[in-house]
Amino acid sequence: MRSNPADCELIAPGTLQAVLSLLSDEPGQWLPIAGGTDVMVQYAAGNLPARRLVSIWNLPELRGIVISPDEITIGAGCTYTELQEHDVIARELPLLASAARWTGGIANQNRGTLGGNIVNASPAADSLPALLAYEAELILVSVRGERRVPYLGFHTDYKKMKLAPDELIRAICLGRRFSNYLHYARKVGARDAQAISKVCVAALGRLRSGATGSVIDDVRIALGSVAPVPLRLTEVERIAKGKPVGPELVQLTRKMTTGAIQPIDDIRSTARYRSAVAGNLVAEFLQQLRGSGKTV
Amino acid sequence: MTHSPKNRGKCEISLMVNGRPETVRVYPMERLLDVLRQELGLTGTKEGCGEGECGSCSVLIDGKLVNSCLIPALQAEGTNLTTIEGLAEGPQLHALQTAFLECGGAQCGICTPGMILAACQLLEKKPNPTLDDIREGLSGNLCRCTGYMQIFDAVMEAARRNPA
């Protein structure tokens, strides 16, 4: 049953400092709401546990994309539309730009934010594997100050994360060091647009010349919708480095991928199908890497 | 956009709706969709799924397409809103409205206001869209009657009549 608006409080303090003070004074009492594309869905279904909400939509301190020589800093309140339309992101972080295009319809892309996608913590979120592949770091802010943490490991279990009750994500930082990598992104869903992924993958790789031909110099592979949290396949990456891409490696990584993930049966797919597709996508990525000419 | 924690209950929200200043007294978590239909009598905006999937409740906020079922009223404070009622100029229909009529782009009509506003945003960004642009631009708006082809024809026709 739908929530009753008379039972809910929503305030918009208007500045980051005022929001942080509120979160600090009454930790755990206030649910931040940005574009509302997840929170309002739960609210409409009567499933929102929070009764007190604080708007962080359009807070200037959470907006903007800053380009420095080494890094791209994306305000947590940036929308998917802003990510897609930014030239540098489209050019240097195509995995993130693709994920932004896949997430929801245009109306939701105009409201959904990258920070919101992280804290909503859906294992099926399309942007999160891209953040893992690019080794994003998060700037977390509270009245106690800021701290910078790697995104890898931020999600500890289904919908659980290392974010204190008085903290917000202020920005997401991504290094500008992947220009000579193959960027591979693929989403498998019921349809191309506006369908939640059955499996999605974001991967980066480059080759180098070895004694007997090209071998994998560096590789990063991340998957969504196959575990309680977005997953980076660090063990698969470790095994693949230094090896030539051939049928043997493709077969091994396919098998390892299937072993590393914990897919489930749900309304969108089955564990069996997700396993098969995840293995196929990793294999497809490696085959594309072999022919990519992306060499150190 | 400010609302003091001391002001529990309803609050006053002012915004521009179809070029006119409006002030409503509503709960801050009321859905913009309900404010439009119930407080302002603008029933052209339709409720379909109520969870941001179907696009029936699409409106433009500051020129950007949004699902009004997912916007709490307080977040509309100070914005410039366009609903389907705001497109025609007096008796003169908007080019998209004319094209939808002529091409058979509307059947039951529930998706039509959202489709037209989504097409508005599309043509704003891409005045000469390809069929793929149209398919992508309207991909968040579901129609269960037309099979979409007449809708795509209508958007193409509107673009043709108003060359950039």
Tokens at A286, concatenated: 């490696």
Q: Nearest-CA distance from A45 to chain B in Å?
A: 8
Size of interface A-B (CB pairs under 8 A): 112
How many C-beta atoms lie closer than 10 Å to residue A208's C-beta?
Answer: 14
Q: Is residue A296, in this structure, part of any structural domain at all?
A: no
A32: phi then psi, degrees, rounded to nearest 5: -65, 140
Q: Which of B69, B74, B137 sits opposite A55 (nearest CB)?
A: B74
Instruction: Say if the Cβ atoms of A33 and B72 lie within 8 Å.
Output: yes
Q: pLDDT per residue over B74-132, tens digit each?
A: 999 999 999 999 999 999 999 999 999 999 999 999 999 999 999 999 999 999 999 99
Indicate if A88 and A131 belong to the same structural domain: yes
Task: Kindly give, in sequence order, each residue whose CB lies less than 8 Å from that of residue B94, ignoring residues fewer than 6 positions away.
Answer: B87, B88, B116, B120
Q: pLDDT per residue over A44-102, tens digit each?
A: 999 998 999 999 999 999 999 999 999 999 999 999 999 999 999 999 999 999 999 99
Indicate if A42 and A13 belong to the same structural domain: yes
What is the number of domains present in chain A? 3
Q: Nearest-CA distance from B161 to chain A in Å?
A: 24
Q: Nearest-CA distance from B45 to chain A in Å?
A: 14
Residue B19 has pLDDT above 70, yes or no: yes
Helices (H), chain B: 32-34, 95-103, 112-125, 131-137, 149-161
Q: Which residues of A touch B3 (CB under 8 A)?
A: 10-12
Q: Is residue A106, in this structure, part of any structural domain at all?
A: yes
Indicate if A43 and A110 belong to the same structural domain: no
Q: How confident is the model at residue B71 (pLDDT cuts 50, 70, 90)?
A: very high
Q: Which of A14, A53, A193 sits opposite B1 (nearest CB)?
A: A14
How many C-beta atoms lie closer than 10 Å to residue A111's C-beta?
Answer: 26
Indicate if A25 and A67 belong to the same structural domain: no
The rounded radius of gyration (Å) of the Cα atoms in chain A is 20
Q: Which of A2, A53, A193 sits opposite B139 (nearest CB)?
A: A193
Among the three residues A136, A160, A175, which one is the final residue of a domain in this structure? A175
Q: How confident is the model at residue A2 (pLDDT cuts 50, 70, 90)?
A: confident
The DSSP letter of residue A54 is E
Which residues of A make CB contacts under 8 Å with B? 2-3, 5-6, 8-14, 22, 33, 35-37, 40-41, 43-45, 53, 55, 57-58, 81, 104-108, 110-111, 192-194
Q: Which of B69, B77, B140 sits opposite A104 (nearest CB)?
A: B140
Residue A9, CB-side half-sphere exposure with 13 Å CA sphere:
14
Indicate if A139 and A230 belong to the same structural domain: no
Q: Is residue A80, in this structure, part of any structural domain at all?
A: yes
Residue B3 has pLDDT above 80, yes or no: no
Indicate if A186 and A170 belong to the same structural domain: no
Report the SS3 class of residue A266.
coil
Indicate if A157 and A227 belong to the same structural domain: no
Please state the ipTM of this predicted complex: 0.94
Q: In this predicted structure, what is the pLDDT of residue A195?
A: 83
Indicate if A161 and A223 belong to the same structural domain: no
Q: In this predicted structure, what is the pLDDT of residue B79?
A: 98
CATH of the domain at A192: 3.30.390.50
Residue B67 has pLDDT above 70, yes or no: yes
All domains of chain B, ordered by start, with CATH? 11-86 (3.10.20.30), 95-161 (1.10.150.120)
Among the three residues A33, A55, A77, which one is the final residue of a domain in this structure? A55
Q: Nearest-CA distance from A32 to chain B in Å?
A: 13
Taking the C-alpha atoms of residue A251 and residue A246, their distance in angstroms, rounded to an integer, is: 9
Q: pLDDT per residue over A184-225, tens digit each?
A: 999 999 887 778 899 999 999 999 998 888 999 999 999 999
Indicate if A215 and A191 belong to the same structural domain: yes
Among the three residues A144, A175, A206, which one is the final residue of a domain in this structure? A175
Among candidate residues A179, A191, A278, the one with its CA nearest the CA of residue A236: A278
Q: Which of A2, A81, A107 sits opposite B55 (nearest CB)?
A: A107
Q: Nearest-CA distance from A103 to chain B in Å?
A: 11
Taking the C-alpha atoms of residue A9 and residue B8, their distance in angstroms, rounded to an integer, is: 7
Mean pLDDT of chain A: 95
Indicate if A244 and A276 belong to the same structural domain: yes
Q: Which residues of A touch B139 (CB under 8 A)?
A: 105-106, 192-194
Q: Is residue A286, in this structure, part of any structural domain at all?
A: yes
Q: Which residues of A touch B136 (CB under 8 A)?
A: 193
Hunting for tokens 């390809």 — which residue is that?
Answer: B130
Residue B5 has pLDDT above 60, yes or no: no
Indicate if A164 and A199 belong to the same structural domain: no
Q: In this predicted structure, what is the pLDDT of residue B162?
A: 81
Range of the domain at A285: 182-290
Q: In this predicted structure, what is the pLDDT of residue B163?
A: 64
What angle, rounded to 10 degrees, do the helices at A271-290 and A247-260 form? Answer: 150
Q: Is residue A295, in this structure, part of any structural domain at all?
A: no
Nearest CA in chain B to A7: B9
Residue B8 has pLDDT above 70, yes or no: no
Residue B4 has pLDDT above 70, yes or no: no
